[in-house]
Structure 1
Amino acid sequence: MAAAIILGPSPSIAQDREQVKVAFEHALPNVEGKRMVAVTVTYPPGAKSLAHHHAASAFIYAYVLSGAIRSQVGNDPAKVYHAGESFYEMPGAHHSISENASDKEPASLLAVFVVDSKDQPLTTPDRAPGSR
């Protein structure tokens, strides 16, 4: 299932990239055709995600669990969010920056997707890992 969330990094670059783990997934019983998926995203020091888009129907709420996350969504300016702070992404948004703001401490966030039940994958990188 994690592969459906984001294309996983190869082991040789794992230290440079985030680790994504599904924490919860369930159909919404009172909203036909929708599901909720929660994932934890862990960033080692200095790690980052590739620029990416989420499923077209996905509304995302992100809560920083630890450390500090630098994020830029759409045309908004990049911002650093610290543990206890949150942000959201509208359906179809482009996430150009998502990274650990520290090169010394790890960081993590909880991302909660409300998405059409059939939308897969939830995250698609702009380019394949390792390509230039």
Structure 2
Amino acid sequence: MIIRPILTVFCASIIIFASTAALAQGHREIVKPNFEQTIPNLPGKSLVAVEVEYPPGVGSLPHLHAKSAFIYAYVISGEIESKVNDAQVHVYRAGDSWSEPPGASHSISRNASKTRSAKLLAIFVVDTEDKHLTTLVR
């Protein structure tokens, strides 16, 4: 019957699509909201924290941060390779931290290891109405 080969191709297509989607998802950073609160004594400002986990060998696409966002980054585990604006590429290890000015251009942000995960905590002081903390650079 003709239905059996069609069904086989259909099932194989679904399996290939699902595994490709899972693989693609595994090659991106994982961003988890951690905290968000308006700052009572700074009208119009909020404090927002996100955890960014990089699986082995994974990095973020080049991006810009919100024009109002002052950022403090702290490496929780592993090693993060970072380049902000015109600064040189730097590797930060667990316990290291750095800051980024409002509107920073982040051309490199990635796990420095091909075998171990890395995680950082990014804390933003940002205008409360700025809901897009990052914008991809195309």
Q: TM-score range, shorter-chain basis?
A: 0.7 to 0.9
The count of residues paired between Structure 1 and Structure 2 equals 118
CA distance in 2, matches of 1:22, 1:34: 17
SS state of the match for residue 13, structure 1?
helix
1:89 aligns with 100
- TM-score under structure 1 normalisation? 0.87
Greater helix fraction, Structure 1 or Structure 2: 2
2:46 aligns with 35
CA distance in 2, matches of 1:66, 1:53: 24
CA distance in 2, matches of 1:68, 1:15: 18
- TM-score under structure 2 normalisation? 0.83
Superposed, 1:32-71 pairs within 5 Å as: 32-71=43-82
User: Of residues 112, 116, 132 in structure 2, which corresponds to 1:101?
Assistant: 112
CA distance in 1, matches of 2:84, 2:26: 24
Which digits, 9 at most, give the CA deviation of each residue in 1:42-74, with x for residues without a partner?
A: 000000000000111000000000000000000
**Match for 2:133: what amino acid?**
L
Q: Percent identity?
A: 55
Residue 14 of structure 1: how far off its partner (Å): 1.6
CA distance in 1, matches of 2:61, 2:27: 10
CA distance in 1, matches of 2:80, 2:129: 29
CA distance in 2, matches of 1:52, 1:12: 22
CA distance in 2, matches of 1:74, 1:18: 20
1:25 aligns with 36
Q: Which runs of 4+ in 1 moved over 4 A?
A: none
CA distance in 2, matches of 1:62, 1:83: 11
CA distance in 2, matches of 1:69, 1:57: 24
- Larger radius of gyration between Structure 1 and Structure 2: 2
CA distance in 1, matches of 2:124, 2:58: 22
Greater RCO, CA 8 A, separation 6+: 1
CA distance in 1, matches of 2:53, 2:98: 16
Give 5+ residue unaligned stretches, structure 2.
1-20
Give 5+ residue unaligned stretches, structure 1.
1-9, 128-132
* RMSD between superposed Cα atoms in Å: 1.0
**Match for 1:35: what amino acid?**
S
